């Protein structure tokens, strides 16, 4: 449990303090705009990462054993009411395969289609992979602010491409007054505070702007059966 807490804190710190990804207080995807993407559910890998997208736990016959026999504990009903839900959302298990014994971080992911492209909203879901208990609040953890990050995704047969928004692109637009979007600056980093509706309009406008995105991460499909 302590190891997972440390991992979660490091992830949140990384997202807040680095300028690598566009970060937002509000989600890009709400319940009305969330959709499932054909072919996205399953296990995807690069040389050093594994992302497992789950919408229907029955597609993962080994998942119960992996989660200590308590699949129901990961049901979307456990999510906070204000978070994106169940039917059209994904639970995403992220693993760093460079570690000898990979830690697993759990995210909630929701996808929407804007300007003929799919976009993934990621939000850290604070559950322990070993005990599946909601992480208890304490003085330190209450000082970390949860954020949403967005990326453009494309599924083509057995290949998944993920392109995160590049923060420097957004910063340049704001500094040059080419866009007006609600934001705050903290420690040299921009945190977007615009509403979901405003975010969708912004993303729709720059959906096909090459400079707006980081280089794509390319994943290969590995099936549904979970193998540790």
Tell me what pLDDT residue 73 has: 44
Summarised one tens digit per residue, pLDDT across range 136-172 is 444 444 445 678 889 999 999 899 999 998 888 888 8
**How many Å apart are CA 14 and CA 192, to the nearest integer?**
16
Mean per-residue pLDDT over the chain, rounded: 76
pLDDT, greater one: 108 or 70: 108
CB 66 within 8 A of CB 227: no
pLDDT digits (tens, 9 = 90+) for 81-132: 434 445 788 988 888 888 666 567 778 899 999 999 999 999 877 444 443 4
């Amino acid at each position: 449990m302590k190891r997972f807490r440390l991992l979660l804190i490091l992830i949140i710190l990384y997202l807040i303090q680095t300028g690598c990804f566009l970060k937002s207080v509000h989600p890009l995807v709400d319940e009305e705009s969330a959709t499932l993407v054909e072919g996205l559910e399953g296990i995807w890998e690069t040389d050093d990462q594994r992302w497992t997208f789950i919408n229907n736990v029955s597609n993962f016959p080994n998942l119960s054993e992996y989660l200590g026999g308590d699949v129901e504990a990961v049901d979307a009903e456990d999510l906070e009411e204000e978070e994106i839900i169940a039917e059209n959302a994904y639970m995403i298990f992220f693993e760093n395969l460079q570690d000898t014994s990979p830690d697993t971080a759990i995210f909630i992911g929701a996808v929407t289609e804007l300007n003929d492209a799919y976009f993934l909203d990621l939000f850290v879901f604070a559950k322990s992979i070993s005990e599946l208990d909601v992480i208890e609040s304490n003085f330190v953890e209450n000082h970390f602010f949860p954020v949403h990050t967005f990326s453009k995704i494309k599924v083509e047969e057995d290949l998944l491409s993920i392109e995160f928004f590049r923060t420097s692109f957004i910063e340049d637009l704001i500094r040059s007054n080419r866009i007006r979007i609600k934001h705050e600056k903290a420690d040299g980093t921009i945190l977007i505070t615009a509403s979901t509706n405003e975010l969708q309009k912004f993303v729709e406008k720059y959906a096909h702007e090459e400079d707006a995105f980081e280089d794509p991460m390319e994943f290969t499909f590995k099936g549904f059966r979970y193998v540790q």
